[in-house]
Amino acid sequence: MSAIKPKRIKVDSLGEPKVSFPKELHPYLSEVGEVNLYVSEEVMDTEDPAHRYFIFEEAGPREKIYFDPSKTKCAIVTCGGLCPGLNDVIRSIVMVAHHQYKVAATIGIRYGLQGFLPEYGHNIWEMNPDNVSQIHEFGGTVLGSSRGHQPPEEIVDALERMNINILFMIGGDGTMKAASAIWNEIKKRRMKIAVVGIPKTIDNDIYFVPRSFGFDTAVSKAIEAIRCAHTEAIGAPNGIGMVKLMGRESGFIAAEATLAQKDVNVVLIPELPFELYGKNGLLEYLKNRILKRGHAVIVVAEGAGQELWRKEMKKNHEKIPVDPSGNPILGDICGLLREKIKTYFQEQDISITLKFIDPSYIIRSVPANANDGVYCAFLGQHAVHAAMAGKTNMVVTKINERFVYLPLSLVTKKRRKLNTDSSYWKGVLASTGQPPVFLNKEIKK
């Protein structure tokens, strides 16, 4: 291990910091501000230590900053779906910018990137400690949000019109890609505007980010739904409880909630395709479970089994719809599963009671719990420290209990997926007792 050389992860800077940090308010980091860390195989999707050893720039205040606080104007925008902790991050940014740096102004952009474009007519919100002090008590985002592509050229035009020096963008994979496009336009025009991202996704699927804010809260709420599904399942002969959880392309919430709440017998995730029929199919396994134990609890990530849904679409000669951002709209896999399960057990002459729970909008709309609240506070703080030091085209995250900076090019490289060969997923399988895959063929070893 000692022979392994770490790879240095660099982030862009607007220029040399020359303004003194207000030392009486906060201690600052040393000039180096670097940390050597091994990244988990779950984050990198590789077991080779040589590819998981990095030197990161440590997050925190610097002795010299780039922007003169008295002349600095910040903007905050939230994009994409709702997530616990959005208001916590907004509050933290505003508080640190005003109390520690005493910036000239911080404005909130309404309803995502739409708020930059005049044709939508969304007003801006001048934010200060007085009007954001209690927003962490509420779910969602006080700024509102939206999806859909907005031209980066027009967004930069708006930044220029409003004399914005720093743009904080809070959102998921699509938002980080938009942030990168905005920065490229800023760079093309040779403007001095910092773009700093705070990764947000309830699915926990941003590459190189071990845990996104809101995930801990989401799992806590998901456990409540699983507990209810288990109660329904054992409350009737041959009872089946089914819970749908968020996770378009990654099954982290479903897996984590399954590990936390031990009542789950089957968990289905997007990373693993499955089949319904045959001796190794899901339905046969479910039948054996019912006959043996008299009940079952199934947890389904929303993006699981989409290949089955697409087959149904092709049968009906229907096109797969997309949302305003161009993402394929997920098929109702739980609806399909409920239909197939009921039909299958009727054909087997086995009477069942099937109860379905979908807590998705409850999970993403609640306020952050204590763990996420603390995490969000630090993310907001470090985002401000980075921006004021002139860091740009980057995000703030936490790796191995250390807050660090990552370039946007890294986190937008691909989506993070659950590693189904990892010890983590093996622990999930051990908890449920289900086989590694539900496929009507021999499993390759």
Q: DSSP secondary structure string, 248-265? A: SS--HHHHHHHHHSTT-S
Model confidence at 386: pLDDT above 80: yes
pLDDT confidence tier of residue 443, bands split at 50, 70 and 90 = very low
CA distance 213 to 219: 11
pLDDT confidence tier of residue 45, bands split at 50, 70 and 90 = low
Confidence at residue 318, expressed as pLDDT on a 0 to 100 scale:
75
Which structure tokens are listed for 212?
A: 């996104």
Identified catalytic residue from 68, 157, 173, 203: 203
Which structure tokens are listed for 309?
A: 């849904």
Domain borders along the chain are 7-213+368-411, 218-361+421-432
Q: Who's near 297: CB < 8 A, 6+ residues apart?
A: 226, 229, 230, 233, 240, 241, 242, 243, 263, 264, 265, 266
CA distance 366 to 362: 6
Choose among 420, 133, 414, 82: nearest CA to 271: 420
Q: How far is CA 268 from CA 82, 244, 303, 326, 444, in A?
A: 23, 10, 9, 25, 20
Confidence at residue 96, expressed as pLDDT on a 0 to 100 scale:
96
Quick check: is 332 catalytic?
A: no
CATH of domain 7-213+368-411: 3.40.50.450
Confidence at residue 32, expressed as pLDDT on a 0 to 100 scale:
60
CB 306 within 8 A of CB 331: yes
Domains 7-213+368-411 and 218-361+421-432 share a fold: yes
pLDDT tens track for 118-146: 999 999 999 999 999 999 999 999 999 99
Confidence at residue 320, expressed as pLDDT on a 0 to 100 scale:
75
Confidence at residue 444, expressed as pLDDT on a 0 to 100 scale:
46
CB 196 within 8 A of CB 407: no
Region of 112 on the Ramachandran plot (φ > 0 left; ψ -120 to 50 alpha; else beta): left
Q: Which residue has the higher pLDDT, 325 or 71?
A: 71
CA distance 177 to 267: 31
pLDDT confidence tier of residue 1, bands split at 50, 70 and 90 = very low
Note if the pTM is more than 0.85.
yes
Confidence at residue 51, expressed as pLDDT on a 0 to 100 scale:
75
Model confidence at 270: pLDDT above 90: yes
Model confidence at 15: pLDDT above 80: yes
Q: What percent of the chain has pLDDT over 90?
A: 81
CA distance 43 to 424: 12
The mean pLDDT value for 93-100 works out to: 96
Neighbours of 398 (CB within 10 A): 18
Tell me the torsion sign for CA atoms 86, 127, 405, 102: negative
Q: What's the chain's average pLDDT?
A: 92
pLDDT tens track for 304-343: 999 998 887 777 767 777 776 666 788 899 999 999 999 9
Q: Which fold has domain 218-361+421-432?
A: Rossmann fold (3.40.50)
pLDDT tens track for 181-225: 999 999 999 999 999 999 999 999 999 999 999 999 999 999 999
Could you tell me where the DSSP H helices lie in 82-132? Answer: 86-95, 129-132
